[in-house]
A and B are shown apart, each in its own frame.
Chain A
């Protein structure tokens, strides 16, 4: 391994070896509280170091592990985002009442392993490496979902996720087998050459990619594989949802973009219409199902489905612009969802954490700052300017029209218009005058305030300075 390779690999090493170290920190002969504290702070440090390393290498490119991992600007950027997301989730978890005392070395270790999975998934050009990354995300996460077993629906959510993740892994693996059988390679970059050989079987490969898409579809909760999303969102501790619902999904998305931009045209031509159909289904069903939700977290779960519908519509353009729009959407999606989840974590002390929309009546008036952050986050989710969510939609829209899909564009805006109904319900409830007797307004923990501030500023900043990210 050359020095350059070692340097490029350093964020991976920091997180991977660090995860083991964090697990060891738990068995040091100290009091339980000290052990937990050590593991927690060590994890934050590791994530910060890895974040800094990823950004510090900005501009470098290279391929590692015999071509299985590729390091480029996209990889580095999304690696840094994964670190930031994991960092934020961990900080939120520490300020989240129900599991505050349960942030053990195991929790931290699982978060780190999931982060490593995101790293691998984001950078892999070898499908087998991608599978490794996928499982490294999925397995820790279903442990994390059930971290608060007493919570209603926690076990149910974790089980659903575990079963479906298993199913998705099966599809994914079967797809790999077919791809390999058809083309003789699992490396995305070598695929075109493999398919051009005389004894290749393009049909098998194409079928394999469809299986692969199904596998990814489960993880991204695309319609019709979306059944788990709302239950998991409702059952998991909110900080875990914040991890799963922001960076973990974005990592999957980046991988999907990478697959689409590398596969040969034959495959792409088959995949594009499928993506368009799934995209439309996601936009329509995600929004329609969200309309009838009374619980905030379930609502966010369905809104996620809708968001990935928009992203898939962009991907179905199979154009450079579409891919860039999708990646930008991923970034915007991560920051704005983090802002919204942070608000609900901050309010979890005062309100039941799986609360109904109506329960939050007047919360925005009692906590003006939280209200402001929620406005920024929800306005961005809804896609109003000048937030990141708006520019994401703008780019998607222009990719669609550029590629000559005006019908998809109209579906997209009508679906977006529908989404305003439920987003506004949340905002209205937040700022409604409250008739119930005044409760003790609890102070927001420092860590959560930090996450709130950063994610809200980023939601605006990524939008207004879209030039830097697009």
Chain B
């Protein structure tokens, strides 16, 4: 089952590229079909979910080097896999008419999706690293698709990522060597490495090595420098994949690897992690406040939200961890809606410049309302998804470190300001110029509507997705 989950989109993407290069329409439908099947597989996994790591797959791979092919899924990875499937579907629908070479584009998106699933399921550290890197390559090509600026941004993204990843590789191998020297068994098996004895100091350095890879992905302050540019230069569907699906892998990595593998080192770092998270929330929020480009506002808001996740992760406390995971879900769905809005605006031939907008609510009431729902979710309005996450993170955070949690709470206040400013300048007020703008079509309304409904559903019934995660976060919190 997990093999199918990972390799169906990869092989499917490759075959689509191979066979359907001539016909964009056929390729588009095929890509969508594969992504739908992928979502169904995720739902099926949800239905058959068991305790601990279920649906394990185990095979020898490189036995003389202690590498095996070991897959498994638990509540945490399941929830994030569901999110990834949904976000990918959304990204494809957003790209529907905006992309011409669907065979290449769709193949890259599908390969990235498969690799993300692999990252979520891999329980062997080398296997994990393989999927981790495979994930970046298609995303890099996707992000570099639009002109010289995008290429430069993508290059910066890739270099940031790769430095982090390679440092992680050093940490992984060092852990492997340490474990081997201590126990005589050289292995990359996650479960066996969990209890590797090492000094706190060494543990801290190895933890930082791993964290450098995850922090870049999240993007965690101060390693976020690549993110705003890459998000805003890339096409909307690519930004959705970057912010909505791939960024989550950073947070997942922290929970799955950084904290449990190096508890002693993580313990030392945790206060700093909370501080960086809180600073990131405020800093990115303030930057979002002064942007004149709608896409950049959204990009910075995404960085700000993910910083709150960082705060939750390093609070390392049950509610905060629950909240962090939930915030990932809310943020993923939220950026899908927000970047989708930029795609709709672009499809109507308008630029992202906030100065050129204004009064569009009259022209596009449907979009205006749905856009507002996404924004309000981002602001943290009760009843919508983000609220649950933010509340849990702060409630947990206050218990651990009052000061930084208060700073982060102030950062949320900033989010109200920048989102409402962006909405006011684009949708409200007088029309700047006489233009005709079509309101959302059927597909566009469907994407936005589904996003809004999901946000509402998550906000009203958070327990549905919190309960699978509960066992994981509880076990993690106990290590603290």
Q: Which residues of B contact A414 (CB under 8 A)?
A: 163, 166
Binds A, one of B45-53, B167-175, B450-458: B167-175
The answer on a CB contact under 8 Å between B176 and A467 is no
A470 at the interface (CB under 8 A from B): yes
The answer on a CB contact under 8 Å between B159 and A417 is yes
The answer on a CB contact under 8 Å between B130 and A421 is no
State which residues 162-196 of B face A: CB under 8 Å: 162-163, 166-167, 169-170, 173-174, 176-177, 180
The CA of A410 and the CA of B159, in the complex, are separated in Å by 16
Q: How far is the CB of B350 from chain A (nearest CB, A)?
A: 23
The CA of A410 and the CA of B167, in the complex, are separated in Å by 7
Instruction: Mark A404-422 against chain B: 1 for CB-CB distance below 8 A, else 0.
Output: 0010011001101100110
The CA of A22 and the CA of B159, in the complex, are separated in Å by 50
B126 at the interface (CB under 8 A from A): yes
A255 at the interface (CB under 8 A from B): no
The CA of A413 and the CA of B158, in the complex, are separated in Å by 15
Decide: A385 near B177, CB < 8 A? Known: A417-B162, A420-B162, A421-B155.
no
The answer on a CB contact under 8 Å between A385 and B133 is yes
B129 at the interface (CB under 8 A from A): yes
Decide: A413 near B170, CB < 8 A? Known: A385-B130, A398-B176.
yes
The CA of A21 and the CA of B126, in the complex, are separated in Å by 50
The answer on a CB contact under 8 Å between A401 and B173 is yes
Binding site of A, secondary structure by majority: helix, strand, loop or mixed? helix
Binding site of B, secondary structure by majority: helix, strand, loop or mixed? helix
The CA of A368 and the CA of B101, in the complex, are separated in Å by 13
The CA of A470 and the CA of B126, in the complex, are separated in Å by 16
A49 at the interface (CB under 8 A from B): no
The answer on a CB contact under 8 Å between B177 and A402 is yes
The answer on a CB contact under 8 Å between A397 and B141 is no
The answer on a CB contact under 8 Å between A384 and B137 is yes
Q: Which residues of A contact B176 (CB under 8 A)?
A: 398
The answer on a CB contact under 8 Å between B129 and A385 is yes
Q: How far is the CB of A328 from chain B (nearest CB, A)?
A: 10
Decide: A420 near B151, CB < 8 A? Known: A402-B177, A470-B62.
no
Decide: A401 near B177, CB < 8 A? Known: A390-B133, A467-B61.
yes
A386 at the interface (CB under 8 A from B): yes
Q: Which residues of A contact B167 (CB under 8 A)?
A: 410, 413
The CA of A386 and the CA of B130, in the complex, are separated in Å by 6
Q: Which residues of A contact B134 (CB under 8 A)?
A: 384-386
Q: Chain B: which residue is nearest A416 at the CB level?
A: B166
Q: Chain A: which residue is nearest B155 at the CB level?
A: A424
The answer on a CB contact under 8 Å between B64 and A428 is no
State which residues 118-151 of B face A: CB under 8 Å: 126, 129-130, 133-134, 136-137, 140-141, 144, 151
B62 interface neighbour in A406, A421, A431, A467, Cβ under 8 Å:
A467
B126 interface neighbour in A384, A394, A424, Cβ under 8 Å:
A394
B170 interface neighbour in A384, A395, A401, A467, Cβ under 8 Å:
A401
A379 at the interface (CB under 8 A from B): yes
Q: Chain A: which residue is nearest B164 at the CB level?
A: A417
The CA of A467 and the CA of B176, in the complex, are separated in Å by 18
Q: How far is the CB of B214 from chain A (nearest CB, A)?
A: 16
Q: How far is the CB of B131 from chain A (nearest CB, A)?
A: 8
Q: Which residues of B contact A421 (CB under 8 A)?
A: 155, 159
Q: Chain B: which residue is nearest A464 at the CB level?
A: B61
Q: Which residues of B contact A379 (CB under 8 A)?
A: 137
The answer on a CB contact under 8 Å between B144 and A384 is no
Decide: A406 near B174, CB < 8 A? Known: A385-B134, A413-B167.
yes
A466 at the interface (CB under 8 A from B): yes
B21 at the interface (CB under 8 A from A): yes
Q: Chain B: which residue is nearest A431 at the CB level?
A: B141
Q: How far is the CB of B190 from chain A (nearest CB, A)?
A: 17
A442 at the interface (CB under 8 A from B): no
The CA of A359 and the CA of B137, in the complex, are separated in Å by 23
The answer on a CB contact under 8 Å between B162 and A401 is no
Q: Which residues of A contact B151 (CB under 8 A)?
A: 428, 432
Q: Which residues of A contact B174 (CB under 8 A)?
A: 401, 406, 409
Q: How far is the CB of B176 from chain A (nearest CB, A)?
A: 7
B430 at the interface (CB under 8 A from A): no
B169 interface neighbour in A394, A402, A424, Cβ under 8 Å:
A394
State which residues 300-352 of B face A: CB under 8 Å: none
B173 interface neighbour in A385, A397, A431, Cβ under 8 Å:
A397
Q: Chain A: which residue is nearest B141 at the CB level?
A: A431
Q: Chain B: which residue is nearest A371 at the CB level?
A: B104
Instruction: Mark A128-171 against chain B: 1 for CB-CB distance below 8 A, else 0.
Output: 00000000000000000000000000000000000000000000
State which residues 115-136 of A face B: CB under 8 Å: none
B222 at the interface (CB under 8 A from A): no
Q: Chain A: which residue is nearest B17 at the CB level?
A: A368
Q: How far is the CB of B161 from chain A (nearest CB, A)?
A: 9
B63 at the interface (CB under 8 A from A): yes
Q: How far is the CB of A258 from chain B (nearest CB, A)?
A: 21
Q: How far is the CB of B360 from chain A (nearest CB, A)?
A: 31
The answer on a CB contact under 8 Å between A420 and B159 is yes
Q: How far is the CB of A419 from chain B (nearest CB, A)?
A: 9
B64 interface neighbour in A409, A410, A431, A470, Cβ under 8 Å:
A470
The CA of A420 and the CA of B164, in the complex, are separated in Å by 13
The CA of A71 and the CA of B421, in the complex, are separated in Å by 77
The CA of A368 and the CA of B169, in the complex, are separated in Å by 32
The answer on a CB contact under 8 Å between A470 and B65 is yes
The CA of A432 and the CA of B144, in the complex, are separated in Å by 9
The answer on a CB contact under 8 Å between A424 and B65 is no
Q: Which residues of A contact B136 (CB under 8 A)?
A: 384
The answer on a CB contact under 8 Å between A413 and B169 is yes
The answer on a CB contact under 8 Å between B129 and A417 is no
The answer on a CB contact under 8 Å between A420 and B137 is no
A413 interface neighbour in B144, B166, B180, Cβ under 8 Å:
B166
The CA of A375 and the CA of B174, in the complex, are separated in Å by 30
Q: Which residues of B contact A394 (CB under 8 A)?
A: 126, 169, 173
Q: Chain B: which residue is nearest A391 at the CB level?
A: B62
The CA of A329 and the CA of B302, in the complex, are separated in Å by 41
The CA of A379 and the CA of B177, in the complex, are separated in Å by 26
Q: How far is the CB of A25 from chain B (nearest CB, A)?
A: 42
The answer on a CB contact under 8 Å between B169 and A384 is no
Q: Which residues of A contact B129 (CB under 8 A)?
A: 385
The CA of A427 and the CA of B155, in the complex, are separated in Å by 11
Q: Which residues of B contact A431 (CB under 8 A)?
A: 141, 144
Instruction: Mark B392-422 against chain A: 1 for CB-CB distance below 8 A, else 0.
Output: 0000000000000000000000000000000
Q: Which residues of B contact A398 (CB under 8 A)?
A: 65, 173, 176-177
The CA of A297 and the CA of B158, in the complex, are separated in Å by 24
Q: Chain B: which residue is nearest A369 at the CB level?
A: B18
Q: How far is the CB of B136 from chain A (nearest CB, A)?
A: 8
Q: How far is the CB of B46 from chain A (nearest CB, A)?
A: 29
Q: How far is the CB of A339 from chain B (nearest CB, A)?
A: 16
The CA of A416 and the CA of B176, in the complex, are separated in Å by 21
Could you list 8 further interchain pairs (A-B, Cβ under 8 angstroms) beyond the known A402-B177, A417-B163? A386-B134, A394-B169, A406-B170, A413-B166, A424-B155, A428-B155, A431-B144, A466-B62
**Can you list 28 residue pairs at the A/B interface with Cβ under 8 Å?**
A375-B137, A379-B137, A384-B134, A384-B137, A385-B134, A386-B134, A397-B170, A397-B173, A398-B173, A398-B176, A401-B170, A401-B173, A402-B177, A409-B174, A410-B170, A413-B167, A413-B169, A414-B163, A416-B162, A417-B159, A417-B162, A420-B162, A424-B140, A428-B144, A431-B141, A431-B144, A467-B64, A470-B65
User: Sorted from nearest, which 10 A-B pairs have the closest CB atoms?
Assistant: A413-B166, A385-B130, A417-B163, A401-B177, A384-B133, A467-B62, A398-B173, A397-B173, A385-B133, A420-B162
